[in-house]
Amino acid sequence: MFFTFIIRNDYYIMQFSEFFKKYEGKDIIVLGCGSSVTDFVPKIPEGVVTIGVNDIGDIFTPEFLLVVNSPNTFKPVSRVSTISNNKSKYFISHFPEKWIPLGIKNEIVNIKLGDRNFSNLGKSATDIIDYSNNSPFMACICAYYLGAKRIGLIGVDFTDNHFNNKDGRHKLTGQLKEIDKKFGILNKKLSKLGCEIYNLSPESLLQSLPKMDQDEFIKNINK
C-alpha cells in the first residue's frame, strides 16, 4: 500500500482513507477505558488489530489510538501525559495539531468529523467519520472502514470508575439511553454492510448490542 504524506510541523500526516479495507475480513477489537478492559487485555492474541481510545496506553498498546478530545479536556492532567507518550503505531485524530506539540511520536492519521445522523456511513475510502458523544462509537466506525468483519467491543461499560481512575459516576450516565440507542442503530447499519459489533463486557450497561462471551470471541477470531 502506498501512502500520501503531508508535512506539517515536521510530522508526516496520513489521511484515514488510505487505510480503507486494509484489514478486510478481519476481526478488530475496540477498547474503551471502562473497568472491564482490565481482565480482557491479557487475552488478546498477538497480531490482532486493535483500536483503543484516550489513555488506554496505561494498560495496553493498541495498533491504532483514537483521540477526539482536546488535551485541555482531560482530567487529571496525567491523562494527557499518558496519551502523548503512548506507544501505538498510529495516532488518529481530527485535530492532531493540538497533540503534536505535546511530543507524540506515532504515525499520525487525520480524520474529518462527519455528523450525528450516519449520513456518511458506508462511503468508500473516506476520511469522514460520523460521530456521537463518545470515542468508542467513532472507533467502531473506524474499524468498519479498516475492513472489520466483526468488532469486539470491550471497556465500554458506562459503570462507575475507569480502569485506571476511581473517578466515580460516569459523566455520560445521564445520556446512556441515547448512547445505547445510537450504538444499536450503528450495529444495524453496519450489519447491512457486512460488519457486526459484539459487546464483550459482561458488566456493560449497553443493551442494544449483542453480547458475546470473551473466550468465544477470541477462540473464533479471524476464522
Give the model confidence (pLDDT) of 107-166 as tens digits: 999 999 999 999 999 989 999 999 998 999 999 999 999 999 999 999 999 986 766 676
Q: What pLDDT shows up at residue 15?
A: 96
- % residues pLDDT > 90 (the chain): 78
Q: Is the pLDDT of residue 199 over 70?
A: yes
- CA gap 41, 163 in Å, rounded: 12
Residue 77, pLDDT above cutoff 90: no
Note the CATH number of domain 6-219: 3.90.1480
Name, in order, each residue with C-beta under 8 angstroms of 142's C-beta and a sequence gap of 6 or more: 16, 51, 64, 66, 92, 111, 129
Answer yes or no: is pLDDT of 10 > 70: no
Domain boundaries defined on the chain? 6-219
pLDDT at 164: 66
Look up residue 1 and give its amino acid: M
DSSP code for 50: E
Show Cβ contacts of residue 76 under 8 Å, excluding neighbours closer than 6 positions: 165
> How open is the CA angle 124-25-178, to the nearest 5 degrees?
65
146 grid coordinates: 479498516
Instruction: Look over the chain and give the mean of its residue pLDDT values, rounded to a whole number.
Output: 90
- pLDDT recorded at residue 170: 63
pLDDT exceeds cutoff 50 at 6: no
Q: What is the C-alpha radius of gyration for the chain, rounded to an integer number of angstroms?
A: 16
DSSP assignment of 157-174: --SSSBTTB---S-TTGG
